[in-house]
Structure 1
């Protein structure tokens, strides 16, 4: 028997809202049923494309019995408040990254989910990339041995025109931050997913290449994890013309490199022997570790639809009454790292993360 699709409304008809609408139009088990935006023209245009009704207010949609869930695709500082409203209506909610821009807001969302019949997930679609899945599986299996260090780097370029294109972009009030909060948060999320609980951060931040924003365009940090492993974080939107988002994970028996969602390097020592005295990295096992189309040199069009995979996981979690892969707690932990970086950069001192 075919299950009845879960009917979603998309809140926010900008760039990311349009992407969510396209995903929901295709992902099995879901149906795009409405769009919402305070700009009636934006809502109308997206609604006409998919043949669904348009609304200007979230409350109108939450009153509809036929709507099961809402995808929140609005400016970052609005995420938690709107997600809380969805959960209080006992509907499910997908929250675009970041979960919000303050821990207080994230905590309110967590409390709302505990009291709701609805479930929530925070978009961290790169956890679903085959490259990320391969590295995570190796970490969980202990294939890398004790994890020792990692490097997370997002060196992108965003012009002043990019920031000027939306009144909320590059503002502390609505965006919550700059290169870290908006552009680097996915790579930071992968870092903590691989290495575990971060406990202390020391950081620097700067605004170096833009005139009309009040957030950082460059930041670096050192993170100490509960295991003792160390990592560096580098995020910038001032690296013209822009390079890749890159994550390196290193252990006493192996290493991996994910570069722009592709597994470009993977090597572990043979399970039945000592790791070579000077390494054995001449043998790249990436082709064996990740799916075809996800390794170095692959056509970008061959990369999986990670948003679709996350939606599929969320739908399965709802139908089988389990937690999704990316929970509110996971989204909150990633946010706590970004906020600790900002706190350390402002104070000039190391910051201990809350347990």
Structure 2
């Protein structure tokens, strides 16, 4: 689960990671109060769960109170990458000498935590990797062993930060990561101010979805996020699949985000317009498939559905059973195009043939049929 920046800021404060002074406003009245707590010049930061908000106009530097009030009102009325702005974080303007990048994540291949750092901050790490890969330092941290000083010294040297400052920061990030079952703790930028302070002035934290569901201390975050969701998103969260509404008429369902994205790209390549991205996830049960497909078929803008399954952990017969249950129990006038390959695909084909759904093996053929509508 992605945290809003202000939620991430509070977590960083809890672990004594230095951040700038800030004030959260959820409406114009609170925004006015924030202007007294942190007067201009300051920074207005739209609180949205989307990336690239700066380029989308979601971060505004204000110089005067008039500028502050005008910009704040406009920001509340703005949509950032199609996300409504329900809160604004007002932050003090920091006199920055240098910007850096540091993040802690988990490498599933190595089964270790990975600390990533760069003396170049304020930009996407992917952009740094492409343009200046020599500036990225990655070091592995053992999950059950205290981080050795020589590792911290290497990072401190890379960022040109005193060892003791870096040691405190890395240990705090590590504790935050472990104790809250994070998937990512990212500070970008981590800045050195003109007065010599090290501050985390922008941050991103992603929590493990499963842990959020079972941890009472994080229950309030989950309940708040559920209230913000639409009905379709709430159903998707409850049943464990990913659902994103798009602008087209073809729903694309797959098992795995990469496979589903690739399927959408092919639909677009052959002239179709994806209308729903739906990732069933790994090991999808027939019940999950049934709920996901039922949700898609209720959408009036969708007139056909392309389902692309590569069976491994996800069994083709389970997927087929879920599809068949929907078709048996609902009147469906929308065309389904199904590709099944892998675990129990023959049984899956048999199940679908009984409800009149042909199954493709060739991906391009299936996509072309879905785009043409038959």
Asked if TM exceeds 0.5, the reply is: no
TM-score scaled to structure 2, two decimals?
Answer: 0.28
| Relative contact order higher in (CA < 8 Å, ≥ 6 apart) | 1
Larger Rg: 2
TM-score scaled to structure 1, two decimals?
Answer: 0.29
